[in-house]
Amino acid sequence: MARFYERLNTELETFIGRQHVFFTASAPRVGGHVNLSPKGMDSFRVLDPNTVAYLDVTGSGAETAAHVRENGRLTVMFCSFEAKPLILRLYGSGEVLLPADPGWAMNRPLFPDHPGARAIVLLHVSEIQTSCGFGVPLMAYQGERGDLVHWARKKGEEGLRRYRREKNRESMDGLPSGFGEDG
C-alpha cells in the first residue's frame, strides 16, 4: 500500500543513506524522450526535510539537466535491493547548479571529489511516496565501479570541457543543458 508524506523523516533519511543506487526521471514539457538514469558513487545528500541534492558528473548524456532547465520536473527513486523491501519516490521541482552559479561553492563540499563534476542537481521536494517494493529482486552490493572516475581522470580537465562542449551541450531532443558553456 502506498503512503504519502509531505517531508522526509528520520526513517526515510536513514533508508536513503543505506542505498547505493538511485534513479532520476525527467521528461521534456512536450513530446521528446522520457529519461530514466541510474546514479551512484555516494553522490546523493539530504539537505533538509524538503530539499535533496546529487552531484552530477560528466557522462554520455545531458537529459536530466536539459529537462530540469526547461520545465523543472524531476522525480528521484530509491528501491531496496537488500533486506526490507521498500520503494521511495521524491517528487518536486529541480534546479541545476553549475560551477559558476550561486550555491555551487556552498554545496560542492558536501560531495566526494569526483573528477568530471559538472553540476549539482537540487530537488525541492513537494511530495514523497513509499510503496512495498515486494517485486524488486534481492541483490547484493559489491562496490562502486571505477570506470567513470578512471575515464574522467584520463581525459583531464581540458578534455572534459571539450567533451561537454561536443557531447553534452543539449539533450537528445535538442534542449540546452547548460553544459559545455564553461570554455
The torsion region of residue 106 among left (phi > 0), alpha (psi -120 to 50) and beta comes to alpha
Residues shown for the chain: 183
154 occurs within a structural domain: yes
Its domain, for residue 78, covers 3-167
110-152 pLDDT, tens digit per residue, is: 999 999 999 999 999 999 999 999 999 999 999 999 999 999 9
Which residues neighbour 30 within 8 Å (Cβ) at sequence distance 6 or greater? Answer: none
159 occurs within a structural domain: yes
Angle, CA of 176, 35 and 9, to the nearest 5°: 105
178 occurs within a structural domain: no
All 3 cell numbers of residue 84?
526490507
Residue 107 phi/psi, 5° resolution? -90, -25
Predicted confidence band of residue 183 (pLDDT cuts 50, 70, 90): very low
Mean pLDDT of 99-108: 96
181 occurs within a structural domain: no
Angle, CA of 170, 93 and 61, to the nearest 5°: 25
Q: What is the CATH number of the domain that holds 156?
A: 2.30.110.10
Element (H, E) at 74: strand 73-79
- In the chain, the number of structural domains is 1
32-80 pLDDT, tens digit per residue, is: 999 999 999 999 999 999 999 999 999 989 999 999 999 999 999 999 9
175 occurs within a structural domain: no
User: Does the pLDDT of residue 1 top 90, yes or no?
Assistant: no
179 occurs within a structural domain: no
